[in-house]
Amino acid sequence: MSAAVKRDFGIPANLLDTVFPFHFAIDEHLHVLQVGSSLSRIAPQLTVGTALTASLVLRRPHGNLTISTISRAVEQPFLLELLDSGVRLRGQFLNLDGGRWLFLGSPWFDSAADIEAAGLSLGDYPVHDPMAELLMIGQTQRIALNDLHDLNERLQQQRAAVKRTERVYRDAIAAADAVAYHITADNERFEFIDSGILRLTGYDAGEMTPNFFRSLIIETRNVRMSHAATSEAGTFSDRCDHRILARDGSQRWLSEASIKVADSEGRSTGIVGILEDVTERREREAERERLSVELDTILKLSPQGFAAFDANGRLTYCNPSFEQMTGRRRRELEGRHMTALNTLFNKLSAGAQPLQSIADLPEDSADEITLAQPERRTLTRSLRPMGGSAQGLNGWVLFMRDVTREREIDRMKSEFLSIAAHELRTPMTSVRGFAELLLSNDYDQEMTREIAETIHRQSTLLVHIVNELLDIARIEAGQGADFDYERHAVYDLVKQTVATMRNPDECCEVIVDLPADESPVIWADGKKTMQVLANILSNAYKYSPDGGKITLSVLHREHSGRAEVGIRISDQGIGMDETELKRVFERFYRADPSGAIPGSGLGMSLVREIVELQDGSVEVSSTKGAGTTVTVFLPEITGTYVAAQQQGTA
Amino acid sequence: MYGLVNKAMEQMVCSAHGRDMWEQIRAEASVDMEGFISNESYPDDITYRLVAAASTSLNLPAEEVLKAFGEHWVLHTALESYGPMMRATGKTLKEFLQKLPHLHTRVELIYPNLQPPEFECHEISDTELEMHYWTRRPPGLEPFVEGLLFGLGKMFSTPVSVELLQHRGDGHDHSVFRVQWDEAA
């Protein structure tokens, strides 16, 4: 700005520069008379006395920058441009007196940055000038536009993400052998359904309507409704399994998950859902269920005791045998730790010593314990881990076996061997002793004969004992499988037995009280049955030292819903008291312990063995000094019985 | 309020705590809008909900959130969006504060639906003034004003101390702050 004193041009000079800091004044020759302070800063060459055209060029209105042009367009806004910087001035010319002109305006910029680039600030504009506000509005619009761009970009990204997610879902649905669908709000058609419907039903998407799909459903199971957390509309989701009839006639199980959808105002927009082929899964489930039931049944029926423990050592399951062995119900044991089971076993134990802890039982062997409660039992226990190394340890199974009977049999075998050895040793000792006597002495003929007869008698007894032991062993081993069943008239069997049995010294009178023409018929092994009758008859002879009648008779009875024939042999011999009677079937037991009556003590044991294997029974009654009656009951032959037996032995 | 305010809140949270935190705050505030347009007018309630949710999610008192927001507003939103206008308002902190009414007049023209606050500064000394603050918004925005003043101090590299002398609502129609700064400013 010129250092000269400012002129007022009708406005006080100090105010003129404040309110129009970009003004300039010219004379009629376009020479500069005055320049506003702010304009001087951006147009330093525009000084008083210089030609206006040296610094400025007219852009609007059309024409050269002359007084004539200014005069002509005085009513119009003028756009001037500084030659040096290209900054444009917008304003108007006012005609003053004396041919002078005053330009009131300000530089026009497109952005605040341009103002600063030109060496100005918004503070250089007068307060009344809206330039700053206009620029700020423009800036605000640009910011808003950027916001829109940002939002648009974000929406694009979201849309891309949604598409990616949609692709992932589609791939996942395809991989799961499933199809997605969208049913319209009117429930009339599929807005969308995957072409995979063809794979599931044999019908393509074009043929499929909601009603048509429903017509394929044979049955629906597992209907369950749950609140759909993902549903914006807050509706409920449905899940169910359908058995459908596919086009090729096959049946498939489809699991359907669907949800009602609504728009943001809660109006229904239909149903979306997924159909998944779960045929194989259901088949596997059914098989698993079958195996589970099978296993459960096996465990329930198993005489062995099983208890399962989880990885923390707590009981999760035990079978009825385990309950029986411990005398505790499953619900009492569930959840209890192994250590609690140890306490229980110690409490039930028959011994005073503490039992081995379950957790310490070796994997490859079992311990044996004897419980006094709930009843006396001998049990073996072993513990097996569940789960391989790959799956990690899932828990343990405690396996218990009741070996009470086995141990009793072992004991009985030992006892039997001991008795058998003793019974064999007695005649053997006798044979050996008398043989030594013969070898070491010269006896007369009578004595020698007597000793030889004793040796013969004792060795005959030995052979008899060995034969009967072999019979018993054979019969026990065969369990009747080698029995030769046929129809037999009881009369024939009785008659033949009596005929083949020697009546020693004709001491007894044998009476067969059985009419030949009315004999009942049995289905039995003839030889074995005759052996039974022979053993009983032999005892009758032997234990009737004083003679008497031996009566063989037949009776009939109904027993356990069937007809039975009883073959009864009664003697009038020495008989037995109650104690002796109880032991009559014991092996090597003899009613005459003196040995005066020869015998092995195995006969009655063999009798019962053979009769019971033929589905019969033996009853013995006796009175000491009055005689004994033995009755062998066998099933009486009837049409049905024969048919059943023939079928069973075929 | 104009979207510019909510957008500024979003930028502040995103730059300091990441977008996930902003999404959490937006969900907490039940604000469905994906973003804000600066010159669009939004209900004041949205801004207040966002402040409350930020306070909950960031585990900060609401006053601290507002204070940080005030500072962010000056140093980022105002400077980045309207730098020339900010710089034209004053070359020093004192000049700027004294020209605040001028600035807000312009702001009101740019944002016609805005209800900008009114400020009036009374000079106490070369390094101290009392700033009177009127607003038609609900009470409680004083921490935001404090944050603005701290932000301006940083903008002019002039450490300031601010004291609330009078609180609107304590029988007064406006709040008064004492603002002090270093002599060098």
pLDDT per position as a tens digit, B5-59? 899 999 999 999 999 999 999 999 999 888 899 888 899 899 999 999 999 999 9
Half-sphere exposure of A186 (CA within 13 A, CB side): 4
d(CA A175, CA A602): 77
Comparing alpha-carbon positions, the chain A residue that sits nearest to B86 is A122
Query: Who has greater pLDDT, A538 or A596?
Result: A538
Question: What distance in Å separates the CA atoms of residue A244 and residue B3, rounded to the nearest whole number?
Answer: 56
Considering only CB atoms, B38 lies closest to which of A127, A143, A155, namely A143
* Torsion from C-alpha of B131, B136, B137, B142, nearest 10 degrees: 10
Average pLDDT, whole number, for chain A?
A: 85
Contacts of A166 (CB under 8 A, 6+ apart): none
C-alpha to C-alpha distances, A556 to A490, A552, A578, nearest whole angstrom: 12, 14, 26
- The long-range contacts involving A290-298, CB below 8 angstroms and separated by at least 24 positions, are none
Q: List Cβ neighbours of B2 (8 Å cut-off, separation of 6 or more).
A: B38, B39, B40, B41, B42, B111, B113, B114
Cβ neighbours of A522 (radius 10 Å): 25
In chain A, what residues touch B78 (CB-CB under 8 Å)? none
**Average of pLDDT values for A187-199?**
84
For chain A, say whether B88 makes contact (Cβ under 8 Å).
yes
Is A112 within 8 Å of B111 when comparing Cβ atoms?
no
More confident position, A50 or B41: A50
Q: Which of B19, B80, B86, B109 to mutate to test the interface with A (most CBs of A within 10 A)?
A: B109
CA distance A151 to chain B (A): 6
pLDDT of residue B184: 59
Domain boundaries, chain A: 13-129, 176-284, 302-402, 408-474, 480-649
Q: What percent of chain A has pLDDT over 70?
A: 92
3-class secondary-structure state, position A230: coil
Per residue in A520-570, pLDDT (tens digit) is 889 889 888 998 998 899 888 888 878 889 999 999 898 888 889 999 999
Model confidence pTM above 0.80: no
Contact A140 B3 (CB under 8 A): no
pLDDT at A3 over 80: no
CB B8, CB B76: distance < 8 Å: yes
Answer yes or no: is pLDDT of A68 > 80. Answer: yes
> A176-284 adopts what CATH topology?
Beta-Lactamase (3.30.450)
Distance between B7 CA and the closest CA of chain A, angstroms: 9
- A39-52: average pLDDT: 93
Residue of A nearest to B111 (CA): A137
Give the SS3 label for residue A250.
Answer: coil
CATH superfamily of A480-649: Histidine kinase-like ATPase, C-terminal domain (3.30.565.10)
Identify the band that residue A6 occupies on the pLDDT scale cut at 50, 70 and 90. Answer: low
pLDDT at A418 (0 to 100): 79
User: Looking at residues A147-174, what average pLDDT do you find?
Assistant: 86
| Domain covering A13-129, topology | Beta-Lactamase (3.30.450)
Q: How far is CA A281 from the centre of its chain?
A: 13
CATH 3.30.450.20 matches A302-402:
yes
Domain boundaries along the sequence of chain B: 3-60, 69-181
Say what the pLDDT of residue A237 is. 63
Q: How far is CA A279 from the centre of its chain?
A: 18
Top mean pLDDT of A76-80, A132-136, A254-258 is at: A76-80
- Does the pLDDT at position A233 exceed 50? no
Domains A13-129 and A176-284 share a fold: yes
Task: Give B169 to chain A, closest Cα distance, Å.
Answer: 34
Q: Do the Cβ atoms of A122 and B85 come within 8 Å?
A: yes
Q: Which residue of A has its CA nearest to B99?
A: A123
Topology (CATH level 3) of domain B69-181: H-NOX domain (3.90.1520)
User: What are the tens digits of pLDDT across the range A240-265?
Assistant: 889 999 999 999 999 888 888 887 67
Question: Over 90: is that where the pLDDT of A422 sits?
Answer: no
Give chain B positions within 8 Å (CB) of A137. 109-110
Is residue B41 less than 8 Å (CB to CB) from chain A? no
Q: Is the pLDDT of residue A55 over 90?
A: yes
The ipTM estimated for the assembled molecules is: 0.86
Write out pLDDT tens, residues A342-399.
899 999 988 888 888 888 887 777 888 899 988 899 999 988 888 755 557 788 899 9
Residue of A nearest to B83 (CA): A112
Q: What distances in angstroms separate CA A15 from CA A3, A20, A34, A38, A629, one per listed residue?
A: 17, 8, 14, 14, 158
Answer yes or no: is pLDDT of A468 > 90.
no
Q: Of A29-33, A199-203, A418-422, which gets the smallest average pLDDT?
A: A418-422
Class of domain A408-474: mainly alpha
- pLDDT band for position A131 (50/70/90)? confident
What's chain B's length in residues? 185
